Amino acid sequence: QVQLVESGGGLVQAGGSLRLSCAGSRGSLSTYVMGWFRQAPGKEREFVAAISGSGIMTKYVDSVKGRFTISRDNAKNTVYLQMNSLKPEDTGVYSCASRLGRMDGSAAEYIYWGQGTQVTVSS
Q: What is the pLDDT of residues 13-68, one digit of tens each?
A: 999 999 999 999 999 999 999 999 999 989 999 999 999 999 999 999 999 999 99
1 has pLDDT over 90 = no
For position 45, what pLDDT does the model report?
96
Q: Map the chain to HEC letters.
A: CCEEEEECCEEEECCCCEEEEEEEECCCCCCCEEEEEEECCCCCCEEEEEECCCCCCEEECHHHCCCEEEEEECCCCEEEEEECCCCHHHCEEEEEEEECCCCCCCHHHCCEECCCEEEEEEC
For position 121, what pLDDT does the model report?
98
Q: How confident is the model at residue 2 (pLDDT cuts 50, 70, 90)?
A: very high
Higher pLDDT, 119 or 101: 119
For position 4, what pLDDT does the model report?
98
The 10s digit of each residue's pLDDT in 60-110 is: 999 999 999 999 999 999 999 999 999 999 999 999 999 998 888 899 999
For position 88, what pLDDT does the model report?
97
